[in-house]
Amino acid sequence: MPAPRIIRMAMLGFLASAMLATSTFAEPQQGEQIVLSSTEHHAPGAGAQGFSALDTEKIRETEEKYVFETEVSKIMKIIINSLYKNRDIFLRELISNASDALDKIRFMSLTDSASMSTNSNLNISITADPVARTLTITDSGVGMTRQQLKDNLGTIAKSGTSEFLSKMEESKKDDVSLIGQFGVGFYSVFLVADRVTVASKSNDDPAQHVWVSDAVNDFTIAEDPRGNTLGRGSQITLHLKEDAVEFLEPSNVESLISKYSEFINFPIFLWKGHNETIISEKSETLESNDDVEEEEIDSEKTEPEELTEEVWEWSQINTQKPIWTRSPKDITEEEYVEFYKTFTKSNDGDPIAWSHFKGEGDVDFRSIMYIPPRPDANFYQSLASATNNVKLFIKRVFITDDVAGDFFPRWLSFLKAIVDAEDLPLNVSRETLQQHKTLKMISKRLVKKALDMFAQLAKNDEKKYSEFISHYGVALKYGAIESQSHRKKVASLLRFRSSQNAQDAVVGLDHYIERMKPDQKHIFYASGMTIEEIEQSPFLERLVADGYEVLYFVDPIDEMLMQNMPGYDGKSFSNIAKGDIKIGDDSDEAKAEHKELEETFKPLQNWLKSTLSEYIDKVTISKRLATSPMAIVTPEFGLTGHMEKLLAAQGMNAAQKEDALYKFMASQKKTLEVNPKHPIIKALLDQVESGEPDEDITQLVTVLYETTSIRSGFQVKDLRGFTQRIEEVVGKGVGAEVAKAPTLKKEEEEEEEEEPIVPEDLFVGGHDEL
């Protein structure tokens, strides 16, 4: 029989919609504090703030009227007119206020345990009533007495209010962050509400009171006719403006709570509904009563009714205690990684490392800092400007992410961190924050902890550390340059390539020093554009052959680093392309032997010096060459070939070229070192000794000088002359007639030997001892 079934379906449908209708408006079962009106008890609108008509009448009879203090009025006007675009901040302000009130009572209860007994469940709960068009936020915090309601919400402007007013005017009136900083956030409720009711019960007042205002000029306070419904705490009911009904939608409210208050330290409950599927059992009952239509019954049996029921209940939005307040040993790696992804809103992989710690003693704070998997795309371009990489919380309330530069120096600004400080006032403004000495103290700790974190990583995880170095090595070098106080520590974290491992930057300075040869006094380094360029350098030969390790500098910043960091751990750095290099045997015998070589080669030295006088002013017998005939060495304060190239690449302007330091460095003539063991050099000596070498030999020596200069890292100055000379040599070799190439013009007369003047600022960067 189909009829009963149809009726049943219709009934179920009716039931479902009835359930839906009642459940939406059902009162949350949360004790007396719930104010949701229901259609049965009150006419829509009349009992809007949870008061019956009679209650409202009573309030009207007993209320006292107060006028807002002038500055408070001004603040309300400014907030209402200027923050309209950001009006959803009202919820953040109310939650943070509620959280404060909860913090206060929790703090009080530490010394007065009875104070908690009036309401021991510390939470924040939020409900929306679409019929009355109200949004209600309730906390079981410290609450306010009648006098406090009057003072806090209207008649006493806080210190800093006028500062707030002028700041708002300066900031072109839309700086949302200001209102939280100045503790005037409460008034943002009038962005969305045209009428606000605050019921509050404090332990210090026997009665619960109600504050009501429609933000015009005045507000009223009356004893709450409902009696003490809160036990303790405050309940703010917003009568939403017509255009603010979006805040009645629990899903909107939920996403706002998540956005602003995920890290509030007290549970935040939202009254919200969800659909649940219920399997109806009724078909079985049918079967026993009616066995006529077997088939149909069977199919009903196997296909029970599926009903959707809307269930309304309290749902906690901020489910976790803020991760940084938990003990590190209770937090899994996955949780740290998830938290990193959530708070940085990034999805580019797992952080390389993190550090979770607590600052105690002179400054109380907690922090988790992360090394991101890679720097932000523009990190190295914008090293000069700090990025928003630190989220500052004060007592679990999010304050700002706009103080990054104050926490980390720019070279560390690749780190992402949460800082939750206990010692800062919540109303602190950005400007006052920057002057706050607590901030400086926190910053100091953070930098130290960051360096510890790097050191730990270096010690414990070689692979991750080299990943870290590959992304952030250059930032650390900036650190070693910029930070006087941390230079030694940062320097110890640097990793370089070297003659022992040219492929990977894995050699630390401590490591290098450990394996220095006993007679070695300096840390040797060679710089170049590429590893290949360095490896073919004539300077390297002898050092490497003799077993010295040479660091390879291929980052442009390395030269700058050397200007600023002349030594490490008592050892100075020595550029193997510069000055006199002190290696090997310095016994008297060795010295005598060298002196003898100098004597022997004197004629060649003199001839070379006069032939190549345009480029060099000194010819010496080399100790550093093994297989090359000669090399060009830069004097201690001159520009190496690598530096010349770097400067050329940067494109120096006229003013920079006029710079005294540059002129001085550029004017330093090079030294030509010859290898006394090399057959070419020996043969040349013979030539010179048997009379002035002819023009052909001069030409060949010029070519040799030019190729040497290339290998020594310099650019050939006279490229045209150079190619012509090569062609002439090749021409002679193959027996072809080639036009005569120009010879190097010798200087007509010896220029006056000028003693170069060392500019005072040559030593910028500080040769401070490490």
Ligand X SMILES: *[C@@H]1O[C@H](CO)[C@@H](O)[C@H](O)[C@H]1NC(C)=O
- Binding residues for ligand X, rule: CB under 6 A, are 30-31, 97, 100-101, 119, 121, 123, 125, 140, 152-153, 159-160, 182-183, 186, 198, 234, 236, 269, 273-275, 308, 310, 314, 425, 427, 429, 432
- Rounded to the nearest whole angstrom, what is the least distance from the CB of residue 770 to ligand X in the complex? 43
CA distance 412 to 403: 14
Residue 712, annotated ligand binder?
no
Residue 515, annotated ligand binder?
no
Specify the residue, 308 or 530, whose C-beta has the smaller distance to ligand X.
308
Tokens of 566: 């002349």
CA distance 418 to 366: 8
* Residue number closest to ligand X, CB atom: 160
Residue 144, annotated ligand binder?
yes
Q: Give 568's Cβ-side CA count (13 Å radius).
A: 28
Residue 316, annotated ligand binder?
no
Nearest to 37 by CA among 202, 194, 197: 197
Specify the residue, 31 or 44, whose C-beta has the smaller distance to ligand X.
31
CA distance 552 to 526: 5
Specify the residue, 160 or 508, whose C-beta has the smaller distance to ligand X.
160
CA distance 716 to 718: 6
Tell me the DSSP string of 328-351: GGG--HHHHHHHHHHHHT--S---
CA distance 458 to 506: 10
CA distance 364 to 263: 18
Residue 564, annotated ligand binder?
no
On whether the CB atoms of residues 386 and 415 are closer than 8 A, the answer is no
- Rounded to the nearest whole angstrom, what is the least distance from the CB of residue 186 to ligand X in the complex? 5
- Rounded to the nearest whole angstrom, what is the least distance from the CB of residue 2 to ligand X in the complex? 26
Place of tokens 């938290």: 339
Residue 181, annotated ligand binder?
yes
| Rg, C-alpha atoms of the chain | 41
On whether the CB atoms of residues 353 and 371 are closer than 8 A, the answer is yes
Specify the residue, 123 or 443, whose C-beta has the smaller distance to ligand X.
123
Tell me the DSSP string of 445-469: HHHHHHHHHHHHHHHH-HHHHHHHH
Tokens of 553: 């500098």
Specify the residue, 147 or 668, whose C-beta has the smaller distance to ligand X.
147
Residue 13, annotated ligand binder?
no
Specify the residue, 31 or 766, whose C-beta has the smaller distance to ligand X.
31
- Rounded to the nearest whole angstrom, what is the least distance from the CB of residue 302 to ligand X in the complex? 25
Specify the residue, 31 or 227, whose C-beta has the smaller distance to ligand X.
31
- Rounded to the nearest whole angstrom, what is the least distance from the CB of residue 550 to ligand X in the complex? 58
Residue 182, annotated ligand binder?
yes
Kindly report the length of the chain: 770
Residue 168, annotated ligand binder?
no
- Rounded to the nearest whole angstrom, what is the least distance from the CB of residue 507 to ligand X in the complex? 51
- Rounded to the nearest whole angstrom, what is the least distance from the CB of residue 435 to ligand X in the complex? 11
CA distance 703 to 713: 16
CA distance 636 to 668: 9
- Rounded to the nearest whole angstrom, what is the least distance from the CB of residue 665 to ligand X in the complex? 52
CA distance 235 to 141: 10
Specify the residue, 275 or 381, whose C-beta has the smaller distance to ligand X.
275
Specify the residue, 160 or 713, whose C-beta has the smaller distance to ligand X.
160
Widest Cα–Cα separation across the chain = 135
Residue 184, annotated ligand binder?
yes
Residue 186, annotated ligand binder?
yes
> Side chain identity at 646, as an amino acid letter?
L
- Rounded to the nearest whole angstrom, what is the least distance from the CB of residue 508 to ligand X in the complex? 47
Q: Annotated binding site: which residue ranges? A: 93, 97, 139, 144, 152, 158-160, 181-186, 430
Residue ranges of the binding site for ATP: 93, 97, 139, 144, 152, 158-160, 181-186, 430
